[in-house]
Amino acid sequence: KFKNFGLNTDFYYDKNITFKFDKENSIFNIYQKYSGARAYFLGGNLKNISINFSGLPETINDTLNNYPFDLNGVTGCLSFIGLDFQNVSISSSNSNCEDSVNLINTTGYIKKFNSKNSARDGLDIDYSNIKIEKIFINKSNNDCVDLSSGKYEFVELNLSECGDKALSVGEKSIVKLNDLEVFKSTIGLSSKDSSIISINNAKIKKTELCFEAKRKKQEFSGGIINLNHYNCNDSPIEIDPGSFINYY
């Protein structure tokens, strides 16, 4: 199904999604009625709006439901495809899809992103050139933030209880990050496959691995991490041959 609402983008949703658009206050709320139900915004731009997705908390630890949805393999419960952001806030809770929120081929500026209780990844961004002011993610069963094939700038990342990597960066991504705080995750930060991450301040606590730099796919070279100030709190660092961590 498709709606426009007078926005400069198109909103698509399946039959197990409900929503409410408060035009006066620029708040768009999206709700799941069934595990794996999905919605997405396609094309154009979003400006000065808050978008909130609410999933089903009782399904977070269930097997993922491959709910049929004709979206050519897009894996987010909520996805944004081919659009520009201007001062947008996004939140997600109790997502039960492969990605809680997926940004694909996007540009612009997001003021705040919040996610809690994701069955898999909290935030997945691909092929984008985007700045996000603040990201707060708590409890993702897989990665909290997964970035690939883009250029990304973040001011503040606060990531906790990530089942795999707190911040995973791959496939020729360039990332500039001011403050990274990670708590209780398997891996704090992973740079791989020709990606370069530059961090001003990093505080990483209670992780099995603080940083890793490596090559995962044969068609790429290794990963690079540039660090200014950091504290791993005795968590180890791993560097594969052909990858580098530079300390300033």
Write out pLDDT tens, residues 86-144.
999 999 999 999 999 999 999 999 999 999 999 999 999 999 999 999 999 999 999 99
As a whole number, mean pLDDT of residues 150-177 equals: 98
The predicted pLDDT at position 68 comes to 46
Reported confidence tier of residue 4, pLDDT bands at 50, 70, 90: confident
pLDDT at 71: 54
Q: What is the pLDDT of residues 50-99, one digit of tens each?
A: 999 999 977 666 666 655 444 556 789 999 999 999 999 999 999 999 99
What distances in angstroms separate CA 217 from CA 41, 70, 142, 195, 214, one per listed residue?
Answer: 31, 29, 20, 12, 9
pLDDT of residue 3: 72
β pairing state of 196-214 and 224-231 = parallel
Q: Cα angle at 165 between 116 and 175, to 5 degrees?
A: 95
Distances (CA, A) of 184 to 92, 94, 123, 165: 20, 19, 18, 10
Q: CA 182, CA 210: separation in Å to the nearest integer?
A: 9
Contact 159, 144 (CB under 8 A): yes
Do residues 95 and 53 touch, judged by C-beta distance below 8 A? yes
Closest residue by Cα to residue 142 from 108, 187, 172, 111? 187
Residues in the chain: 248
The reported pLDDT for the residue numbered 74 is 78
- How far apart CA 44 and CA 66 sit, in angstroms, is 28
pLDDT value, residue 2: 72
17-36: per-residue pLDDT in tens?
Answer: 999 999 999 999 999 998 88
Question: What's the pLDDT at 185?
Answer: 97
217 and 193 Cβ atoms separated by less than 8 Å:
yes
| Number of Cα atoms under 13 Å in the Cβ half of residue 62 | 16
The 10s digit of each residue's pLDDT in 191-235 is: 999 999 999 999 999 999 999 999 999 899 999 999 999 999 999
Residue 137's nearest CA partner among 155, 153, 161 is: 161
Residues 64 and 41 sit within 8 Å (Cβ to Cβ): no
pLDDT at 144: 98
pLDDT in tens, 5-14: 789 999 999 9
Residue 34 CB neighbour total at 10 angstroms:
14
Let me know the angle formed at the C-alpha of 142 by 19 and 135, rounded to the nearest 5 degrees.
60
The tokens for 109 are: 């500026």
